[in-house]
Amino acid sequence: MIYLDNAATTPMSKEALEAYQQVARHYYGNSSSLHDYGSASANLLQTCRSELSRMISGKAEGIYFTSGGSESNYLAIRSLLKGNEQKGKHIITTQTEHASIHTLCKTLEKEGYEVTWLPVDSNGIIAISQLKAALREDTCLVTIHHANSETGILQPLEAIGSLLKEKNILFHSDCVQTFGKIRIDVEKLHLTSLSISAHKIYGPKGVGALYIDPKVSWKSPYQGATHESGMRPGTVDVPGVASFVTAAQVLEPLMQDRREKYEMLRIFFLKQIHKAWLPISIEGENLKGLPHILGLRVAGVEGQHVMLECNRKGIAISTGSACQVGSQSPSRTMLATGKTADQAHEFIRISFGIHTTIKDLEVTLQALKEIIEERMKRSG
């Protein structure tokens, strides 16, 4: 089986697995317990906190470990809103956010918040001028992702952050797809908070982290929570956290090499599509983005059909973010970029990983050719 769905999740690395086993064996005390076993776990957690904060140029006291990216998004937005109620009840976001943020913002609208849904261009990028025009006296929070999970297109976070810092407006970003792939500097990007996840970088599932600038006030939505400085309830998964940070440490020095590999694979794949005159559109083909994520549309063929046929041929791809697949709704990202419902239903995503080879892509291209030819025969 060829695995090309690394934007959804990744296999755990050897180093991450070994770290999990070692810590589970030797650091099994509850990190909140006052005995020596608990203290050992708490000390290890603090080391992990410091290491993770270093990687994003933040401060250790701003790191809170969670169950993953979705919970981190929820906690960041909820806790910042609750801790800064005096700022107002106006939120700005985009229609192309991850499902966890999109759903939360819809819920917040029902709770009395006013949400401005910024438009995006045909590539899914917001205009700073439109963001500036949308800002109001009562704008309390702006939440805009770093990279789109379906197309890999990057938003201009530094320009957004600079504008919001001038206005003293809270700024959250979902950095789940970018952490471990490109450098993230919370100071340079002027981020109030961000969310990251372990299973996107060859770490364990069910582990993530939230960063909130320690200078900013927040209140947890979980009343009476005692773990993670009162951010959330539940015993912290110390082995999972150690495995997460180990996976990040392995990736950190290799980011540039991996990026160059993915760019090489991307160029090869796109050249072959054009060379074969395949009726495939590439989202944001020439724009700055994450090279390992390819958002494609096969003209006249539903993405779900392409995905199922690829699966039958031993190739795993997806029809978009795993957190909204199954709804049968067309891709929100595609609709927001001006595609019709039928065009949005054509969307598929191919995402490379550390084990992806040229041979994998050759097999995938042949499979796509066969799927297209078969569909043309049926419709002809």
Residue type, position 218, single letter: W
Distance of CA 268 to CAs 73, 136, 261, 262, 360, Å? Answer: 35, 46, 11, 10, 12
Residues 79 and 137 in one domain: yes
Residues 6+ apart with CB under 8 A from 127: 119, 121
- Give burial (CB, 10 Å; 0-12/13-18/19+) of 206: middle
Residues 226 and 343 in one domain: no
CATH code assigned at 357 = 3.90.1150.10
Phi, psi of 193, rounded to the nearest 5 degrees: -150, 160
Range of the domain at 357: 2-8+254-379
- H or E segment to which residue 81 belongs: helix 69-83
Residues 296 and 248 in one domain: no
pTM value?
Answer: 0.95
- Tens-binned pLDDT, residue by residue, of the chain (380 aa): 999 999 999 999 999 999 999 999 999 988 888 899 889 999 999 999 999 999 999 999 999 999 999 999 999 999 999 999 999 999 999 999 999 999 999 999 999 999 999 999 999 999 999 999 999 999 999 999 999 999 999 999 999 999 999 999 999 999 999 999 999 999 999 999 999 999 999 999 999 999 999 999 999 999 888 888 889 999 999 999 999 999 999 999 999 999 999 999 999 999 999 999 999 999 988 788 999 999 999 999 999 999 999 999 999 999 975 555 445 688 999 999 999 999 999 999 999 999 999 999 999 999 999 999 998 777 76
Q: Is there a contact between 298 and 348 (Cβ–Cβ < 8 Å)?
A: yes
Residues 318 and 353 in one domain: yes
Question: Is residue 335 classed as helix, strand or coil in its secondary structure?
Answer: helix
Domain closes at, from 200, 230, 252: 252
Q: Which two tokens stand for residue 84?
A: 């800064």
Residues 53 and 192 in one domain: yes
Catalytic residues: 323
Domain closes at, from 201, 229, 252: 252
Q: In total, how many domains does the chain have?
A: 2
